[in-house]
Copies of this chain bind each other. A is one copy, B any other.
Amino acid sequence: MPTYTAPTKDMQFVLHDVLGISSQDIPGYEDLDRDFTGAILEEAGKIASEVLFPLNEVGDRQGCTLENGVVRTPEGFKEGFDQLRDGGWTSLDCDPEYGGQGLPYIMYTCVGEVLSASNMAFNMYYGLTHGAYSAIHVHGTDEQKQKWLPKMVTCEWTGTMNLTEPHAGTDLGMMRTKAVPQEDGSYKISGQKIFISAGDHDMSENVIHLVLAKIQGGPDGIKGVSLFIVPKFKVNDDGSLGPRNGVSVGKIEEKMGIHGNSTCVMNYDEAEGYLLGTEHKGMRAMFTMMNEARLGVGLQGYAQAEVAYQNALAYAVDRLQGRDVTGAKNPDGPADPLIVHPDIRRNLMDQKAFVEGARAFVFWGATMIDRAMRAEDKDADGLISLLTPVIKGFLTDKGYEMATNAQQVYGGHGYIEEWGMSQYVRDARIAMIYEGANGVQALDLVGRKLAQDGGKHVMAFFEMIKSFCTEHKDDEDMAGFVGPLKEASKDLQAAGMYFMQEGMKNPNAALSGSYDFMHMMGHVCLGLMWARMAKTAQDALKQDGADRDFLEAKIATARYYMARQLPATKMHLGRIQTGPETVMALESTAF
């Protein structure tokens, strides 16, 4: 049966050897030495393996139920959530003024991988609360923050995000939920929202919904949308719970996966709501949190691939089937383990190279968020804005693909629910869809982010790769990494150039290639990560007491990525350069 162990050694390698976090000039990072992060990751690994992971399969099997308006989570979820709360895991990076521990976002991120890999559906109750917390923290008045945040930091109250309506998904401008101003400054919110993760449940005293709605008389479309705090139970001035608000659960959706999370249809019937931020600027409030939220979803993508990979590897080492064609490796046994077979290794190496590369990419992204927030560094903010759709889109596409590949290692057993591999695939699938479907990420990247601030950030990105390559150009050990990275980066630049030249004349020239561009850029980012990791490992190997096996495996995996994955950029570039004609040729009715 499946197992999960937090990959703390690899995380420490990324945090300290590759990113050197404790010496980065970001306020709060000075405390993040190796012992400190090691202790946190160790403890996170424990609660993940001992509490969250055993609940993962239970959650999948039982799902959530709605009876007489009450949502029940799977057996053991409530106790597990208490342990998460009691261990202080929900307050890690929250503001100390409201009871948080004030750690940087990077710590939220690496702990988040562990929690998400061990139980994605469960961890979402906390993840959504964190998102709502951030929105109120950034956009709320002091009074609002005092009122809502302390209990959200502890997850005594959990949070949700309410954007989608049945007829308004990506196109939120069409939303119908309305907000009617009241004399006391509050609003009456009415309408229906769908796909509300953690929309209701039995693990917290209150649920604080953040709801997008239109104030009557405001501008049409997306520009007339405002954001409201709408609690399940109203809260009295002394902080105690008041009467039930006009919020109810219409339905729990039956989904392909993340069964342990209650995905609700939420009905608002003149519910009391409080404006968060400025009226008609609801989307702006949402956007502030988007880099964080989307990075979190990218993380979910590779976290599911990580747990799937761990199990596929264990199975490949354990399962005896067939013989190594170059000579038996287990001659006394009835057969050799699966891992001797080259095609199984190809599959495992694809997974390993992806997961470890993705981890470095996301952790790096988290340091940029910290740099943007804590050091108010506009360049870091611009760079992470550029990379966010890549993190979200590429890592979730690949995460699903790799979870599927891990399932494949199990042969027939992979298809049987009891063995656990199916759940990783089904759970990973949603990450490609929510928080902006991946096609929307590609559109955001090509239609918006490339040109942001006059293209400053994408140029800085290319410049960074170029300096890395220049810096190591005479290093013989790095030749096998610098060359392919340079090549891939050139491909990406050529695609960008094509968009600039052709996109002016015909926007479809760029948009037809947006998905390929997102994947190209994902490969270039992972290529950069692998080149950096290879360099780090080479340097570390020269030191006394180096963990040779680990470092040499790191270099070998870097070589694999360079040889077998990174050159995919050429295929994507080729597709982009064929132009929009074949994509747009057919009339809608001719399909």
Contact = CB atoms under 8 A, between A and B. Distances in A.
A447 to B, nearest CB: 8
A434 B415 CA distance: 10
A414 B433 contact: yes
B408 A439 contact: yes
A339 interface: yes
Contacts of A552: 590
A348 interface: yes
Given A313-B591, A415-B255, A343 B512 contact: yes
Interface in A313-353: 313, 317, 320-322, 325-326, 334-335, 337, 339-349, 352
Contact of A512 (B254, B255, B342, B408): B342
Contact of A416 (B253, B317, B341, B578): B253
A586 interface: yes
A582 interface: yes
A170 interface: yes
Contacts of A485: none
Interface string A245-274: 000000001111100000000000000000
How would you classify the secondary structure of chain A's contact residues: helix, strand, loop or mixed?
helix
A588 B429 CA distance: 29
A567 interface: yes
Contacts of A253: 416-418
Interface centre among A326, A346, A408 (most CB of B within 10 A): A346
A427 to B, nearest CB: 11
Interface string A229-257: 00000000000000000000000011111
Q: Counting chain B CB atoms within 10 Å of each CB, which of A438, A582, A590 scores highest?
A: A582
B437 A556 contact: no
Given A560-B585, A563-B575, A585-B560, A170 B411 contact: yes
Interface string A367-378: 000000000000
29 contacts: A169-B321, A170-B321, A171-B321, A174-B320, A174-B321, A253-B417, A254-B417, A254-B418, A256-B415, A256-B416, A256-B425, A313-B591, A325-B508, A340-B588, A342-B508, A344-B439, A345-B586, A346-B583, A347-B515, A349-B583, A407-B429, A408-B437, A408-B438, A411-B437, A415-B434, A425-B429, A559-B582, A564-B575, A571-B571
